[in-house]
């Protein structure tokens, strides 16, 4: 029996993400030299206390899985797979809350050319700081920033005028903390339209598995101790 497996990668639908995909695929920014992904969020006792699975290594998986996998999906979706991974990890203020680190700095090379870094932390005080991506290319530079990569903060590209983008959906609000943009209705619509034969799925199981593989390759560099 033919089965279709859909992955929920809703951040691909945000207008800045759609715009950035075009900028990269059409080489409007030229050859990609450097990509920097920054994910600086707050996840404190308000998030972890009383939640049996949150912070548990086996059930939660770690900060890159539970908080930032959608941003690593964007990195992979836009620039492809990575290699030559190096990483440093630290646990600044989650030693009594989680079984894993809360922060890390990861560097690598893209298989398609260029180098990149992922800088992440959930040790930001009180509220999320930013989710951003900066791209340096042969034809220019750009930065998509905001708390949830929801706005183009800088765009300077040769012979290019920045278009006006559609507004980004507000972040998912869970009370004490917030998550990424609420684009899940686009995912549901894609599932329905695909099953009706009107379109094709936007994220298949292999892409979701690739994101898991990338995170696992990063986490393979963890050391046994959690000292910062």
The pLDDT tens digits of the residues spanning 138-152 come to 999 999 999 889 999
Average model confidence (pLDDT) across the chain: 90
The backbone torsions φ and ψ at residue 216, rounded to the nearest 5 degrees and listed phi first, read -65, -35
107, containing H or E segment: strand 103-110
Q: Between 26 and 205, whose confidence is greater?
A: 26
Q: Between 132 and 50, whose confidence is greater?
A: 132
The pTM for the full model equals 0.88
**Beta-bridge mates of residue 142:** 135, 155
pLDDT digits (tens, 9 = 90+) for 12-46: 889 999 999 999 999 999 999 999 999 999 999 99
Residue 115 near residue 71, CB atoms below 8 Å = no
Kindly tell me if the per-residue pLDDT of 203 is higher than 90: no
Q: How many Cα atoms occupy the beta-carbon half-sphere of 105 within 13 Å?
A: 3
Kindly tell me if the per-residue pLDDT of 199 is higher than 60: yes
Distance CA 209, CA 158 (A): 36
Tokens 């959690």 sit at which residue? 226
Residue 149 near residue 168, CB atoms below 8 Å = no
Q: 43-57, 63-77, 133-147: which has the minimum mean pLDDT?
A: 43-57
Kindly tell me if the per-residue pLDDT of 157 is higher than 70: yes
Question: Measuring CA to CA, which residue among 153, 172, 165 is closest to residue 41?
Answer: 172
Question: What's the pLDDT at 228?
Answer: 45
Mean pLDDT confidence for 184-188 = 76
Question: What's the pLDDT at 180?
Answer: 62
Question: What's the pLDDT at 84?
Answer: 98
């Amino acid at each position: 029996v033919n089965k279709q497996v859909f992955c929920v990668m809703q951040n691909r639908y945000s207008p800045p993400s759609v715009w950035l995909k075009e900028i990269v695929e059409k080489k409007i920014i030229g050859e990609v030299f450097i990509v920097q992904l920054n994910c600086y969020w707050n996840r404190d006792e308000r998030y972890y206390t009383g939640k049996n699975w949150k912070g548990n290594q086996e059930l939660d998986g770690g900060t890159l899985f539970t908080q930032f996998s959608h941003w690593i999906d964007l990195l992979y979706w836009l620039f492809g797979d990575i290699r030559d991974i190096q990483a440093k990890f630290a646990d600044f203020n989650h030693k009594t809350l989680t079984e894993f680190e809360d922060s890390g700095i990861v560097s690598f090379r893209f298989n398609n050319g260029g180098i990149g870094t992922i800088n992440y932390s959930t040790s930001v005080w009180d509220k999320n700081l930013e989710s951003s991506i900066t791209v340096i290319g042969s034809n220019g530079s750009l930065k998509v920033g905001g708390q949830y990569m929801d706005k183009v903060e800088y765009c300077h590209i040769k012979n290019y005028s920045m278009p006006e983008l559609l507004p980004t959906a507000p972040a998912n609000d869970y009370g004490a903390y917030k998550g990424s943009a609420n684009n899940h209705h686009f995912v549901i619509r894609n599932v329905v339209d695909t099953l009706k034969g009107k379109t094709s799925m936007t994220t298949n199981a292999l892409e979701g598995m690739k994101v898991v593989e990338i995170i696992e390759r990063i986490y393979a560099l963890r050391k046994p101790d959690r000292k910062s």
